[in-house]
Amino acid sequence: MKNLYILLFSLVLVACGNSEKSLETTVETETVSNELDITKQQFKGENMAFGTFTEHPFSETVKANGLIDVPPHNKSSVTTFIGGYITKTPLLIGDKVKKGQMLVTLENPEFVEIQQNYLEIAEQLNYLKSEFTRQKTLYNENITSQKNFLKAESNYKSSLAQYNGLRKKLQMLNINPTSVEQGNITSTINLYAPITGYVTKVNISNGAFVSPSDIVMEIVDTDHIHLELSVFEKDILKIKKDQDILFTIPEASDSIYKAEVHLVGTTIDENTRRVKIHGHIEEGQTQFIVGMFTEADIIINNTNRIALPKEAIISVEDNFYVLILKNETETKFHLEKIKIEKGIEAESFVEVLNTDVLKDKQILIKGTYMLLNVDGGGHDH
């Protein structure tokens, strides 16, 4: 029995010793995992660099989305006052046109009929005017009856009204009334560009009939292109005129473009609970296309914060670290991994909240991508 107690006691001692060794091994492993060496040759070859945290401007923004658009007066739908058959349509989508440029030609016998009626009324008007003047003189001299005078006056004024009405209709059809009075009658009319811009829609082809309700083509003037954004009701009181806007065209480019708030809507859409924001785009950036979808950040506040470049931050299992220079030899840099607390993020910088642990430290701010698998984990930039 005594030998049995001795054996058990020995086993307990061995177990305790192994436990202590395991603990020492674990501590040693953790210590090693927080430190690493980089050769100076590798440091130079991979363009690594040390630095310190600096103040960097951070923007408080409101998210918005919308479209590239133009003001209503920069869009024009081309229509006809009287229907007709298309005989000429030389333009295609994307063509640039100037105000007053001929767009399409239409033909219709009704155009001829209107000119004939106008010409007949114009010829009669001279006679009716002379007769009215004569009857007025006779009536004033008590030579003719009031009935004859009133009849002449009625005939003249009625014909004058028809003449002026037909004359205006010819002008709306882009037919010169003076030319018609000289006997020049045409069966065709031309439609002209009401504004300078680009053709964005063509809804006709040669031989097709268009009625007054049809839109023949659409023209957009892109000289005053702007952002038409919408912002949620909860954010609208933060938006003010002249605030900067940074926006992207996610389907077309990774570039970031600049604009500024020009108008803030005063009504809320009952269905979406959003408010419209009108933004002016900074000139000379690129040639945008009307209708492009945009995502935007409206900058409502700028503050300076202590920050590091995103490249300096190593992410491991939801924790964030940086590498600092602990010491160096002739051939190596000895680095130590320090945990940090992240604040807000900008495009290329991250705010650091616990700056005291990095005070007066040399921080590896460039080249951390080479250390992706140092601890078997990963990091994000």
At CA 357, angle to CA 353 and CA 359, rounded to 5? 95
310 — phi, psi (to 5°)? -55, -30
Q: Could you tell me if 179 and 58 are in contact, meaning their C-beta atoms sit under 8 angstroms apart?
A: no
In this structure, which amino acid lies at residue 119?
A: L
Q: How far apart are CA 114 and CA 112, in angstroms?
A: 6
Q: Give the tokens for residue 196.
A: 């300078």
What is the reported pLDDT for 315? 82
Length of the chain: 381
What pTM does this model have? Answer: 0.61
Half-sphere exposure of residue 138: CA atoms within 13 angstroms, side-chain side = 16
pLDDT, position 141:
79
Strand partners, 201: 218
DSSP state of 375: T
Element containing residue 49 per DSSP (H, E)? strand 49-51
The position carrying tokens 């268009």 is 210
pLDDT tens for the chain, residues 1 to 381: 444 344 334 444 444 444 444 434 333 333 446 888 888 888 888 888 888 888 887 778 899 999 999 988 899 999 999 999 999 988 999 899 999 999 999 999 999 999 999 999 988 888 888 888 888 888 787 887 888 888 888 888 898 999 999 999 999 999 999 999 898 999 999 999 999 999 999 998 899 999 998 999 999 998 888 999 999 999 999 999 999 999 999 888 888 899 999 999 999 998 999 999 999 998 888 778 888 999 999 998 888 888 888 888 888 888 888 888 888 888 888 888 888 888 877 778 888 888 888 888 888 888 777 765 444 444 444
